[in-house]
Structure 1
């Protein structure tokens, strides 16, 4: 049964749409891209932030200006003499923050990588109340200019399309930032699906939905239809590791299959049993990401692979018996 608040939202947009579908679409975009409070929303989240507090305090934090926001980056360095020279940028998902990516960062640091965790606008230690894909790419660009170039991008959830858009140069007013390789974890592959889901929640009719989607052209310089992985990365043939759990309740497993369909330069990892959020701290996933980022493989070798090669999925199954699943 829909909540009372949800019913009120849908009724409000229905009334606005009756007078002006264009205005309803504009307001829907404003509501969709407005970030929520950064305060913990549950005891579990509060405990996770407390656990990460000491490690986050050890990071070198820099604050970088982008239009409408000051974004925070947190730099973790290996011990002296253990650096490999590699640099990795980690980008969290919506309603998350760098604190939740500490386990991933620590494993990469232990392997010799310098790791930069980025707080997206309106999240973690970053200011601002608006977040959409162009804003995320602006933040990635600022991190690149301050700390890059990066050998790898790692993006979880919304961070996945964000790093892919940055690598593709998809936002017209932001330079392309192409790393040596990309890792996506539980990432959406088609932003049209995300907008249709959001429009459905708000009860937008066809005309208001079209106006809602047209806002992307205004902020990104490209229509929403361009923000799907097969169009973003059709000319980008760097190594990609795409990780997803088949029990992900927030982002369907079909999204990672779309990423894997890009070609033989993509490796698909099934991380069953870890859902949407636990996946970033799951030891098998962290191990696979660390190995992939540190793998010595020249980009030319990837480009020379025959297009007829098939992906070789890496399947990691976690016994679900006696495991209590947390709702995503």
Structure 2
């Protein structure tokens, strides 16, 4: 049976407070519990409340702009997370201040886990959460941005379902699932930043093993199929800044690029080391090639274009 408890009574959190001191008087922990704490509380105790303009802090925390619609910015932030406003939050703080995400949420989770073990003598897993939207779906849900002492991703690959079909890529992100169910108990306005999830001790690692952390749930830049928004992807491909190439992913196979060019009305043929096509629609060829991880150069005689996979 799974139970979720989100205790009331957490006092106003200040920089320098100890998370374990705030949590332990409110709960009775047992081995195998998972402690969930919001990133905002972690940030406050770690002194990540800063003064200044929110937009400027979003820019400072941004590694790459993914998409922009009016004032809304979806970015890949310095933690590798893709989210609105880089995770910079202006709620529940004094006017003129914003809360930045923790510098290292996995390390924050590990410190809380170690403190609980030292003071309460129990072995728990810890998750640090933040709120994020989802592509193609309205609303937001909490996800794990930090974790310690926990299996964050289960793999069912190779197992059989009840009909004997082998599962290939089924991999529940259990840390995100726990973050989400904890938020149901905490509530957005309930002033309950902690939750304790009991009933999944099978996911909690032995003492001394913090595991891969929530950072292991983040796909490498370029490993995601949606590195840019729809409009931004067009602009990035047309301008072909080398710094943008990684978000489009590794070079595709030659036959895939041939098909993409064909859809644009350009015929390309194979040659040693790559492809060749005419200089007709050169700008279109260059943009399509860039978006597929290939580079374009003129043949020595200037009559054709030669396409080669770009170096990683």
TM-score by length of 2: 0.25
Which structure has more strand as a fraction of its residues?
2
Max radius of gyration: which structure? 2
TM-score by length of 1: 0.24
Which structure has more helix as a fraction of its residues?
1
